[in-house]
Structure formats: structure tokens, C-alpha cells
Amino acid sequence: MQNFGLDSSYYPPKWLGLRGSNDKSYEFAHTLRDGEKFEFSALKPKEEYDLVVVGAGISGLSGALFYQNKFGKDKKILILDNHDDFGGHARRNKFQLKNGTILSYGGSESFQSPKALYSKEVNSLLEQIGINVDSLAKRFDVNFYPDLKLSRGAYFSKSEFGIDKVVSGNPGSVLSDEVPKDKLNARDIQSFINDFPMSKKDREDLIELFQDNQDYFAGKSLKEKEKLMAKTSYKDFLKNYVKLSDEAIKFFEGTTDEFMALGIDAVSCDDARAAFLPGFDSMGLEPLDEESLAEMEEPYIYHCADGNATVARLIVKK
Ligand SMILES: Cc1cc2nc3c(=O)[nH]c(=O)nc-3n(C[C@H](O)[C@H](O)[C@H](O)COP(=O)(O)OP(=O)(O)OC[C@H]3O[C@@H](n4cnc5c(N)ncnc54)[C@H](O)[C@@H]3O)c2cc1C
């Protein structure tokens, strides 16, 4: 890896074009896959290290820092990565414009539920590199969209619904919502759904589902229900148990993409429940444990300007 920070001409965040896992980054892995052999046994080591870390993502970098903490700052550590920049999934993009610099994340964005999820080791690492999550939270303007009288909505496209239409005022909860519940500028669920460009029957069925008064797995034991929750995709649940039409199911397409990077055909009912999707409140399931709830409800407000690249950079600096 290059000598980051010491040579100002080498600065990957300013390079444009495809960044991240480009062809070069997996060239050697593919060569090995294709049967190439490399003979290292005749090579004599030229340098010695106390620790060699493979992978310069946040795990590898913090591993190196933990090692130094334990064995001393004088320890010599080599960190290898198959990319031209460190950070792994936590990297930044940087653009120099006439009016100044634009900095943004080039990978992972935010600290996810630090109060609920972070261990004492993670918290001590953050403290050591000078990050205070409460200060980050204070600087996140949760009122930005509410004060503009904006709300969350749903877009119905002409190709799928015969008309291009935006319906605003969605009262639904989303995972790790950064907008406080009382500032959603939401309507009640009936009035929101009744504006959907769908048949009366579909709208009524959706309203009923959102009211969540039915046990869609009625007649099954708790054990059977738990198995179904784990094994049934949310899409199959909506089709086969809630009995929504294909048209009504389309409303849910895309709702799990952002957090789970998977469509509702690939997300289990368990995961759908943990993403606040409706249908599970009257099934008599075990309540979600406190930790999961805290994780779901903790807002997404802990951001550095370049996302978690700041963590990687501060560890390297340290
Ligand atoms: C799109 C996306 C968004 C995300 N958003 C968030 C978020 O907002 N908040 C959050 O907390 N988390 C988020 N995550 C998850 C978070 O990015 C990761 O959990 C974290 O960055 C993983 O760090 P890591 O060091 O374990 O792995 P990585 O970041 O993957 O780093 C591993 C590094 O090791 C390299 N490597 C692997 N094998 C070798 C080898 N044999 N030789 C050399 N190098 C090797 C890899 O190429 C990589 O550079 C997101 C992830 C993705 C993909």
C-alpha cells in the first residue's frame, strides 16, 4: 500500500471514474482462481513486522490500533489491501469546485444505532480517535424536511399503475427514522391509502392490513408461526396469507431495498417485521426484544461529512 498522507500527489478520494472494487482490485484473486501459481519460497524477507493485517477496512485498521494499544506504539504494522485506498466499505469522495470543496461518503454512511449496538470496545475506540456520537447527533438537523412542510410519500409510476402520481403524508414508520414521529407531517392511514391510484377493493385491503387487527397465521401454533415467519418471504406472505392482489402488493416493492438491499421476495417475515412492515401485530408472536427495538428505533443521525470514512482516516492518523 502507498504511503498515505505523506505524498500529496497520491490522493485516491479525488480520482474520478469508478472507485471501489474496480477490475484491478480483484485481478490477483481471479488469477489464482484461474489456476496461476506464485512461487514465494525462494524470496527472502526484506522487512519484518510485528503484525501484518490483511484488509484495510475499519476492522483491519482498528485491529491494528488495538494491537498498538496493547503492545506499544513502537510496534511496526503492515496493512495490506487489494485496493488503492484504505477504508474498505468506508471511503470518501471529494470534489474540488470553483466555490469550494464537496465532500461526501463513498461507502458506508452513518453510525448505525450506536447507543443500542456499540460495545465498550467500539466506544473506547471512538473515544480514542476523538469521535463523540452525541456531538454528531446535535449537528444533524432533524427538522430540515419537516420545517419545509415535507413528508414521506409514495410514487406510483405510469408504467406500473397507469398514472404518474405522488401521494404524500405517509404515516408509516421506517427503520432508524431520522424524522421524529411527531414531525412526519403525516396523514392518517385511510386518507393516505385512499389517494392511491388503485381499485377500491385494493385500497380497502391495504387499509385493513395496516390496521393490523388480523392473525394471518390463525390456527397455527406459536412454534409453527415462528417457523413461517423465518421461512416465508414477505411477498409470499402478502400474496398467500394476507391475500392481497398483485396490484396492491406493488405498493411494498422497494420498501426493503434501502436497508436490506433485497426486495420483498427475498426478505423474510421476521425481517419485514423488524422493518416495521405491517401484518404481524395480532399474531400473538413473542414481542421483539428490547435490543432489537432499540436498534430499530434509534434514529439515523450520527453522520460525519464523509460518512464512516472519517473513522478509517482518524484511525490511520492515530
Ligand atoms: C453499500 C453499503 C452501505 C453501508 N452503510 C453502512 C452504514 O451506513 N453504517 C454502518 O455502520 N455500516 C454500513 N455498512 C456496513 C459497513 O460498511 C461495514 O460493516 C464495514 O465497513 C466493514 O468493515 P470491514 O473492515 O469489516 O470490511 P471491509 O470494509 O469490507 O474491508 C475489508 C477490506 O479488506 C480487503 N480484503 C479482503 N480480502 C483481502 C485479501 N485477501 N487481500 C487484501 N485485501 C483484502 C477488502 O477488499 C476491503 O478493502 C454498509 C455497507 C455497504 C456495502
Write down the H helix ranges in the chain.
Answer: 27-33, 58-71, 114-117, 120-129, 133-138, 144-147, 158-161, 189-193, 200-211, 222-231, 234-236, 246-249, 257-260, 269-273, 290-297, 309-317
Residues composing the chain: 318
Task: Please identify, by atom number, the ligand 1 atom nearest to the C-alpha of residue 59.
Answer: 25
Listed in order, strand segments (DSSP E) in 84-197 are: 92-97, 100-105, 153-156, 165-168
Cα(304) to ligand 1 centroid in Å equals 17
Contact 54 CB / ligand 1 (< 6 Å)? yes
pLDDT bin (cut points 50, 70, 90) of residue 7 is low
For residues 158 and 295, which has the higher predicted lDDT (pLDDT)?
158
pLDDT, tens only, 162-193 = 999 999 999 988 888 899 989 999 999 999 99
Best mutation site among 24, 108, 118 for ligand 1, i.e. most ligand atoms within 8 A of its Cβ?
Answer: 108
Q: Whose Cα sits closest to atom 41 in ligand 1?
A: 54
Orientation angle between helical segments 120-129 and 58-71, nearest 10 degrees: 80
- Count CB-CB contacts under 10 A for residue 219: 7
Instruction: Locate 168 and state its grid cell.
Output: 404524500
Contact 57 CB / ligand 1 (< 6 Å)? yes
Cα(307) to ligand 1 centroid in Å equals 13
Q: Whose Cα sits closest to atom 13 in ligand 1?
A: 108
Contact 177 CB / ligand 1 (< 6 Å)? no
Residue 62 has pLDDT above 70, yes or no: yes
Distance between CA atoms of residues 162 and 166, nearest Å = 13
Distance between CA atoms of residues 255 and 252, nearest Å = 5
Contact 91 CB / ligand 1 (< 6 Å)? no
Task: Please identify, by atom number, the ligand 1 atom nearest to the C-alpha of residue 112.
Answer: 11
Lowest mean pLDDT of 89-98, 122-131, 158-167, name the range.
89-98
Contact 58 CB / ligand 1 (< 6 Å)? yes
How does strand 92-97 pair with strand 100-105?
antiparallel
Burial 243-277 (b: 16+ CB within 10 A, else e): ebeeebbbbbeebbeebbeebbeebbbbbbbbbeb
Give the pLDDT confidence score for residue 2 in this predicted structure. 47
Best mutation site among 38, 59, 89 for ligand 1, i.e. most ligand atoms within 8 A of its Cβ?
Answer: 89
Instruction: Specify whether the CB–CB gap between 302 and 294 falls below 8 A.
Output: no
Instruction: Locate 235 and state its grid cell.
Output: 411477498
Give the pLDDT confidence score for residue 20 in this predicted structure. 74
pTM: 0.84
Q: Whose Cα sits closest to atom 45 in ligand 1?
A: 55
Residue in 225, 205, 204 with CA at minimum distance from that of residue 216:
225
pLDDT, tens only, 229-282 = 999 999 999 999 999 999 999 999 999 998 889 999 999 999 999 999 999 999
